[in-house]
Amino acid sequence: MGITYRRVLLKLSGEALMGELNYGIDPAVVHSIAQEITDVVAEGIQTAIVVGGGNIFRGIKGAAAGMDRATADYIGMIATVMNAMTLQDALEQNGVPTRVQTAIEMQEVAEPYIRRRAIRHLEKGRVVIFGAGSGNPFFTTDTTAALRAAEINAEVVFKATKVDGIYDSDPKVNPNARRYQSLTYGHVLSHNLRVMDGTAIALCKDNNIPIIVFDLSGKGNIKRALLGEPIGTIVGGSCEVS
């Protein structure tokens, strides 16, 4: 038996919605992610989601190509709104009431971010998807996930990635690499482990919010993780290898 969470925050990168494509959104992948979230919500877990935009646009790439960084970041934030609306559509097709709240106002398509309203939606069993990141350039959606988790009093941040946890060295290079079952925030920061950016880790550390890093690609993993099965690596405990 795992832990039963009451309120969780799931961070999905934009790339998670891309599947095997090189760009954009794969509707079949979105549908399958939405199905797992639907099953989690059916168990009464209050679920908030922060979605990235890397499948469409990343500010840092725009800046590397000569764009003004802040402008590029705003474009990146707007990209996340497309992903948020796509996920909302898929969840609502499954009959799950869902609200998108954006940190940059776009009231024709979504609610503005209002913390107390987000909490109310969650209490009513609605999924809340936070779009447009934090609303500030030079930040990431990982940091947004940590920020929103703290604001809505989520018990945990789930970071869905392409690897099944955090290793002591690169498992693709080193066949003897060992996977951590749990890690301290300090270890992640001091070893510069690329789980989430440092700002996100520091924010979770300050607010005592554990981060569970797990592999999104395994079918059923989102459901397993959010329903509290031990999976991936937990940041926020002691350092233990599995």
Closest CB to ligand UDP among 60 and 202?
A: 60
CA–CA gap between residue 86 and residue 88 (Å, rounded): 5
- Contacts for 107-113 with beta carbons within 8 Å, 24 or more apart? 109/81, 109/85, 110/81, 110/84, 110/85
15 scored as a contact of ligand UDP (CB under 6 A): yes
Q: How far is the CB of 48 from ligand UDP (least distance, A)?
A: 15
Examine residue 52 and tell whether it contacts ligand UDP (CB under 6 A).
Answer: yes
Residue 80 makes contact with ligand UDP by CB under 6 A: yes
140 part of the interface to ligand UDP, by CB under 6 A = yes
For the CA atoms of 120, 17, 209, 133, the dihedral, rounded to the nearest 10 degrees, stands at -70
Q: C-beta of 167: minimal distance to ligand UDP in Å?
A: 20
- Cα–Cα–Cα angle for 104, 108, 112, nearest 5°? 35
- The site for ligand UDP, by CB under 6 A, has a size of 23
CA atoms of 97 and 94, how far apart (whole Å): 9
Q: Does 76 bind ligand UDP (CB under 6 A)?
A: yes
CB of 73 to ligand UDP, least distance (A): 3
Rounded Cα distance, 146 and 148, in Å: 6
Residue 87, class by beta-carbon neighbours within 10 Å (0-12 exposed, 13-18 middle, 19+ buried)? buried
Pick the closer one to ligand UDP by CB: 58 or 121: 58
Q: How far is CA 35 from the centre of its chain?
A: 16
Of 42 and 64, nearer to ligand UDP (C-beta) is 64
**Least separation, in Å, of the C-beta of 197 and ligand UDP?**
9
Counting contacts by CB under 6 A, is residue 58 touching ligand UDP?
yes
Place of tokens 């392409």: 162
Q: Which stretch binds ligand UDP (CB under 6 A): 31-39, 136-144, 186-194, 212-220?
A: 136-144
1 or 65: CB nearest ligand UDP:
65
CA distances for 63 relative to 11, 55, 59, 199, angstroms = 24, 16, 6, 20
Q: Which CB atom, from 10 or from 166, has the smaller least distance to ligand UDP?
A: 10
The answer to whether residue 14 forms part of the interface with ligand UDP (CB under 6 A) is: yes
Which tokens hold the place of 32?
A: 């399958």
165 φψ region: left (φ > 0), alpha (ψ -120 to 50), beta (else): left
Is residue 131 close enough to count as binding ligand UDP by CB under 6 A?
Answer: no
| Contact set with ligand UDP (CB under 6 A) | 13-15, 52-54, 58-60, 73, 76-77, 79-80, 133-134, 136-137, 139-142, 144
